[in-house]
Structure 1
């Protein structure tokens, strides 16, 4: 379908690029002013302003995705996390939660500055080598500012004279000036309508052409489409920096002022996880979701220890890490091995993170133990190293750093046969691509969250009065993993049209959130649990029974998961009633955790492997009709792949009918040179004799052999009006016989006229190029609403459709413009309906064509609107036909031209 830029005529990426650069300049100006006059501004106000700028930068980065601007996207995300953490620290200082003395400031700021300074320096290097230079200058200035601030924090009273915060302010001022230069260049480009532009601001067409050529030369490998992964590794380095600085002695001790950095790392990793699924990188989405759990766990434990010890970690709080870190290490290991064929470097980073989780589980102090602190140093170095490798390769060019792509399959499999192991194409072309195709499947993440939440409860005792609330570190696993992350997985599944799976994930996330907070955060003490809490648990149990019933028709794997979760809720019910048997809780959590681990591995292997994917099990029962076994015989193919369009074309060449996307809604099409397919599509409608089909072409060149049969005025209007959502009702003639429809020609249009259209949809026109002109009718039964999603095509038409080309939701659910051209030689145009293309635009095109072909002395347009008298009566008949088409007593008065126009309208609407 048409891109947003083609539809609107605007260039969104440049707008968001300007917003991002000016946002960086604004944040730098704020920090520069504060550095020139330290202590003169209210910390709370400055912190809130930095948070606003941080949100603006994150928005600009998200909107700039998929535009091959990796340096810009990651610079915006990194500075967003930097100023978010710094802003929260300033707010806490303003509120008195963090001291204003030199030691407290150093403990709070140092870990974040140590993490972001090398990251910005690496961004500067890549920008200088591969461009753009302006962003490289901004990244370098920020790196120097952060380095100067670190030196200032540790200089103390013995600093040399003149060594102060003015150096930090000067560096940030350079960033602000570069941003203002860019803004001036964009303003000049806008005011001069593209004639002027400052160097480096992409204001000239030549620069855009060079950028396009450079982008075209880039060699991408699988997973490179995920530009935000670079910022995800920077977030991993940030979280590790908090603990690693303590291990290396950079900070004297851990403090509560360092928690905002862990919070910023968690937020950035969670954002990158969701954006990874959006970039069709399931492995990246799972990896960064797991990494966010490490950040949230360390942040929560550090905050609790600081709270119990009065702001600085040093007290003694009984925090028993449950088996969840070991399970997380195993999940990290599985996800890393799944990425072995894509990048051995990713495997190395995953193994380091898995080792850090083992270190957390091996120490009674959890994330703050000595083993965990030392492991954090290795995580910091590994994340920063792969940050540079991934960024350098994403920036394009002929020089790439080897990451070990494809090494494993070449070692394990026979020569030439390794493509059958790792998935390089759709492993099941008959499986429908569900929902909005911007996100890949997130089922693996949902099952992993269930496993972590279950094992997080295995050895964790509920909070009691003696130990106090939050005495056991369970919330990161039950609330964050089982609740927040699983809710995100459910939302992604819902966007893909997976109703049952999304319902299950959202339902489970709510249960983990409610019960996790109630049981482990001290929300309800043991003595307060009783009938009220039990009634709520019983309601959830009944709802889960409906979910389990639905999974009977899905797969054995899902049925086992739903059944085991029912056992978990039985445990919740028994505890609410105070009758929980000894060890029952541990048994059911282990069972459910193991089942969820298998579901995770099976889902992940189905996305990454082909031959060695674990079985999910066939459903216990099959539904009849569109949702049953017959659905497998109707291929659902993604429209973004040329091979899919070719497969649909072959189906149509063999006499099949297919549902395809258009620039409005989905339609049912058949090749005109296959009369049996045209008749099949014709019979899909009730009272088909009153619903003639329309004719679609992919350009006037398909009618070039019979051009002499059209008037020059009509031919000129067709060339001027198409491609667009304009249907032209023209007279039937000898030109129809050239389409090879035989006796099926009578099914298209009426004996006097035919509605012809050249759609403004790349996928549809490519399909027509392969099969020739097509006969079109709406992809919905008579009297039903428009078909606005590929999931609805087979559900509505069933066996009447032989294939579906999937393109997600329709871009427009607005009717097309239908123009009566049967009297165009007389200079008369009539509009049966005005839709996406306005009437004035069609009239202007007609006037231009007429003026070009005929001298002005011959007169203007005789009638460009609805004529009076007879034409008003015709329009009145058409109105009744469109509104009450199922009434036979109103069909006999419809003229042929109006009938054809009604058919054109029903391409998008049969209601």
Structure 2
């Protein structure tokens, strides 16, 4: 499973293939765990085997059938047959639980089909490898649909189907009881949700990363609840009272309900359908506050609705991931909501049906850490084994968030989250052990003092970040002091409850601020200016990057460039140093910035053919037709400096600074932020920074880069292609040279060239015949 995750982006970008492999891994993994439980006599009777295996296999069989149907509609060759064979084999296993006279020949036949198809696919794969991986390269070029960027989301949906099938089994009659034999389904779902959470972060889809991180902890809590149930062998048939499961901590479910509601409400504003799906989990968490918990009919009924909705969502998402699918732009349902919520200025999204959220970026990963900080703080109110176990789980999620924040380059925030995560893990473990055996209070006090010192250092550092973070860390410091005084029998336990609620509220405010500010343009909740600004700001040595997700920032950068300034902006190939072509002084300033590991050549960026119209008459007809034929593809054209066409861009006095001595590269930009700047400024001259250069808030830039007049920070954009560079200096002779093959294959460039030459020859023949 992990190996496939590692190679999926290189070899198998198709969401259908990823989903099929993940579903198969879930099937074999849980089947192996089931046989281990039987071998160790944890599951012994036939009724127990049915209750342990039936609900999970029912969900996985449904997933296989959905994959088979979508694969058939997409004409995926043998893959739908493989999915159908696995689904029918598991359906036959389910039928055997009701009638043992059916026999296992049907299972054997289906698995024989699976074996033959698997061998066939392995042989085809090795043949493709021997043929220079031509099939793989074709797949990479064709996978450009935004809806399939985060391919593992469907895996998280299948995990929801499995867990919901287990929990609603008693309600629909597929199982007779909830017991320890079903725990492996819940823990497997939790593991898959964590995997999808991290994958969603890597895909810059923070909405789904937040959603699946919540679900992973929820599934673990459900599994822990099932794990503490007595085995069916210990329950006699004469026991008349219904078995009730121990309640999950009430604050845990209340906080989760609020978190899911906030996430669902803001998702409503971007995608109505997924907002409804998330809201079902808020309703489910609310029903878990009932006296009998997951043994009550209400949460089981909600799980049945989630199961059915997950099947529909899975089918829809897989079907819409077809590469040639065109997304409708009708927003009638959303417009009705927006008219009711007119005070919210929603950020525009590219599509209605696409669940990939392009508005979030790496910065908003903090909201996940704040959410679990709030959850752990409210769990302190109830001192039970379940509470301390869940505190440790929440601490693990905060720690993972810290690592992800560190990968985004946020040093202070990541350090704080890593510290918070370690604190919750150790505190939950110590309190859990204290409930089971006697622990010396002096040793606990020494540990708390160590955390007090470390958090005090973090609190001082966070003075330079913003007020919300500082207050959050300061509140935790007060909470740690109350823990210490309570351990030394100086303060009562009610003080800890009061300060933990305070810390939970502050963390929830930080969560809501990150979620709201990353979703809508107005209104915004304030983070607050830092209490103490770093000295480097006052000396002018530190540049403050402007966030590209704000229209005001893009307009500010455009004003600077129109006034002759030089700015660092995001482009298709990474961050570049840019200036307006109509300002010769700024182009000269770009050429004079001396930085190591940067491209010295200055290129020209445009976004529309209309920007070439003023110099069209200076270009040959063949060259114009060639550029027009490759338009809207990521292509760079190496053009000669002859003909005076550069003068039309205002580069008459600075043409010698561009490109090489005889040519310059003209790029067609497809980056949304760059396109907005060019629309306001016109064609721009750019120099690319070193590959992989990151622009981060609060970063100390090298001296040469401090000469720029503005920096635009866009951490939400990722380039999924490379430019194909074509040398057009000999275009008049009908000759081109593909210097670099990127996302546009060489065969397509040659096809366009052939079309242009053929059209030109036909035009010449027509003119000759007219003259005759």
Q: After TM superposition, is the score higher than 0.5?
A: yes
Give matches, 1:193-592, under 5 Å: 212=142, 225-306=149-230, 321-363=249-291, 365-369=292-296, 371-395=298-322, 407-413=333-339, 421-424=345-348, 439=362, 441-460=364-383, 471-475=384-388, 477-481=390-394, 483-522=395-434, 525-530=437-442, 532-592=443-503
CA distance in 2, matches of 1:568, 1:623: 28
Question: Is the 8 Å Cα contact of residues 305 and 317 (structure 1) preserved in structure 2?
Answer: yes
Question: Is the 8 Å Cα contact of residues 77 and 231 (structure 1) preserved in structure 2?
Answer: yes
Of residues 161, 170, 181, the one that matches 2:109 is 170
Structure 1 residues 659, 191: CA separation in 2 closer, same or farther (over 3 Å shift)?
same
Work out whether 1:80 is the aligned partner of 2:8: no
- The answer for the alignment partner of 1:880 in structure 2 is none
CA distance in 1, matches of 2:205, 2:490: 46
Q: Could you say what secondary structure the match of 1:98 adopts?
A: coil
- The answer for the alignment partner of 1:659 in structure 2 is 568
CA distance in 2, matches of 1:574, 1:760: 65
Give matches, 1:586-601, under 5 Å: 586-601=497-512
CA distance in 1, matches of 2:646, 2:2: 59
Structure 1 residues 122, 490: CA separation in 2 closer, same or farther (over 3 Å shift)?
same
CA deviation vs aligned residue, 1:415-453 (integer Å, no higher than 9, x gap): xx9696221279xxxxxxxxxx98562121111101111
CA distance in 2, matches of 1:375, 1:800: 57
| Count of equivalent residues | 683
Aligned-residue offset at 1:329: 0.9
CA distance in 2, matches of 1:809, 1:422: 19
- The answer for the alignment partner of 1:109 in structure 2 is 53
CA distance in 1, matches of 2:223, 2:428: 18
Q: Could you say what secondary structure the match of 1:518 adopts?
A: helix
Aligned-residue offset at 1:334: 1.2
Q: What 5-or-longer segments of structure 1 have no aligned partner?
A: 1-53, 196-201, 427-436, 461-470, 708-722, 727-733, 780-785, 812-835, 838-911
Question: Is the 8 Å Cα contact of residues 8 and 18 (structure 2) preserved in structure 1?
Answer: yes
Q: Could you say what secondary structure the match of 1:655 adopts?
A: coil
Q: Could you say what secondary structure the match of 1:616 adopts?
A: coil
Q: Could you say what secondary structure the match of 1:305 adopts?
A: coil
CA deviation vs aligned residue, 1:326-348 (integer Å, no higher than 9, x gap): 11011111111111133333233
Of residues 154, 157, 160, the one that matches 2:98 is 154
Q: Could you say what secondary structure the match of 1:659 adopts?
A: strand
- Give the TM-score of the pair, scaled to structure 1: 0.63
Question: Is the 8 Å Cα contact of residues 277 and 440 (structure 1) preserved in structure 2?
Answer: no
Give matches, 1:833-872, under 5 Å: none
Q: Could you say what secondary structure the match of 2:364 adopts?
A: coil
CA distance in 2, matches of 1:358, 1:400: 35
Question: Is the 8 Å Cα contact of residues 99 and 105 (structure 1) preserved in structure 2?
Answer: yes
Structure 1 residues 423, 101: CA separation in 2 closer, same or farther (over 3 Å shift)?
same
CA distance in 1, matches of 2:328, 2:62: 19
CA distance in 2, matches of 1:236, 1:440: 27
Question: Is the 8 Å Cα contact of residues 344 and 523 (structure 2) preserved in structure 1?
Answer: no
Aligned-residue offset at 1:560: 2.0
CA distance in 2, matches of 1:194, 1:63: 11
- The answer for the alignment partner of 2:353 in structure 1 is none
CA distance in 1, matches of 2:653, 2:220: 70
Aligned-residue offset at 1:740: 7.3
Question: Is the 8 Å Cα contact of residues 451 and 592 (structure 1) preserved in structure 2?
Answer: yes
CA distance in 2, matches of 1:374, 1:697: 61
Of residues 523, 526, 544, the one that matches 1:612 is 523
Q: Could you say what secondary structure the match of 1:451 adopts?
A: helix
Q: Between 534-543 and 223-232, report the one with greater CA deviation.
A: 223-232
- Give the TM-score of the pair, scaled to structure 2: 0.74
Structure 1 residues 558, 405: CA separation in 2 closer, same or farther (over 3 Å shift)?
farther
- The answer for the alignment partner of 2:750 in structure 1 is none
Question: Is the 8 Å Cα contact of residues 244 and 295 (structure 2) preserved in structure 1?
Answer: no
CA deviation vs aligned residue, 1:764-823 (integer Å, no higher than 9, x gap): 9999999779586989xxxxxx99433358564335343347579999xxxxxxxxxxxx
CA distance in 2, matches of 1:278, 1:519: 35
Work out whether 1:181 is the aligned partner of 2:105: no
CA distance in 2, matches of 1:273, 1:757: 44
Aligned-residue offset at 1:85: 2.1
Aligned-residue offset at 1:509: 0.7
Q: Could you say what secondary structure the match of 2:568 adopts?
A: strand
Question: Is the 8 Å Cα contact of residues 240 and 376 (structure 1) preserved in structure 2?
Answer: yes
CA deviation vs aligned residue, 1:489-528 (integer Å, no higher than 9, x gap): 2222222222111111111011001101111244884542
Q: Could you say what secondary structure the match of 1:323 adopts?
A: helix
Q: Could you say what secondary structure the match of 2:534 adopts?
A: coil
Structure 1 residues 587, 203: CA separation in 2 closer, same or farther (over 3 Å shift)?
closer
Aligned-residue offset at 1:272: 1.6
CA distance in 1, matches of 2:112, 2:278: 39
- The answer for the alignment partner of 2:355 in structure 1 is none
Question: Is the 8 Å Cα contact of residues 240 and 380 (structure 1) preserved in structure 2?
Answer: yes
Aligned-residue offset at 1:382: 3.0
Question: Is the 8 Å Cα contact of residues 367 and 373 (structure 1) preserved in structure 2?
Answer: yes
Q: Could you say what secondary structure the match of 1:610 adopts?
A: strand
Aligned-residue offset at 1:412: 3.9
Larger radius of gyration: 1
Q: What 5-or-longer segments of structure 2 have no aligned partner?
A: 351-359, 607-611, 620-634, 639-643, 720-739, 742-772
Aligned-residue offset at 1:541: 1.4
CA distance in 1, matches of 2:599, 2:73: 62
- The answer for the alignment partner of 1:677 in structure 2 is 586
CA distance in 2, matches of 1:139, 1:342: 33
Q: Could you say what secondary structure the match of 2:288 adopts?
A: helix
CA distance in 1, matches of 2:392, 2:473: 19
Work out whether 1:789 is the aligned partner of 2:694: yes
CA distance in 1, matches of 2:189, 2:288: 18
CA distance in 2, matches of 1:658, 1:408: 37
Q: Could you say what secondary structure the match of 1:803 adopts?
A: strand
Structure 1 residues 671, 281: CA separation in 2 closer, same or farther (over 3 Å shift)?
closer
Question: Is the 8 Å Cα contact of residues 561 and 596 (structure 1) preserved in structure 2?
Answer: yes
- The answer for the alignment partner of 1:905 in structure 2 is none
Structure 1 residues 744, 316: CA separation in 2 closer, same or farther (over 3 Å shift)?
closer
Structure 1 residues 667, 130: CA separation in 2 closer, same or farther (over 3 Å shift)?
closer
Task: Give me the CA root mean square deviation.
Answer: 5.2
CA deviation vs aligned residue, 1:446-471 (integer Å, no higher than 9, x gap): 111011111111122xxxxxxxxxx5
Question: Is the 8 Å Cα contact of residues 19 and 154 (structure 2) preserved in structure 1?
Answer: yes
CA deviation vs aligned residue, 1:185-223 (integer Å, no higher than 9, x gap): 34444556689xxxxxx6997xx79x94xx77x7x6xx7
Aligned-residue offset at 1:393: 3.2
CA distance in 2, matches of 1:619, 1:763: 36
Structure 1 residues 479, 246: CA separation in 2 closer, same or farther (over 3 Å shift)?
same
CA deviation vs aligned residue, 1:147-170 (integer Å, no higher than 9, x gap): 111111232xxx33xx22232222
Question: Is the 8 Å Cα contact of residues 322 and 473 (structure 1) preserved in structure 2?
Answer: no
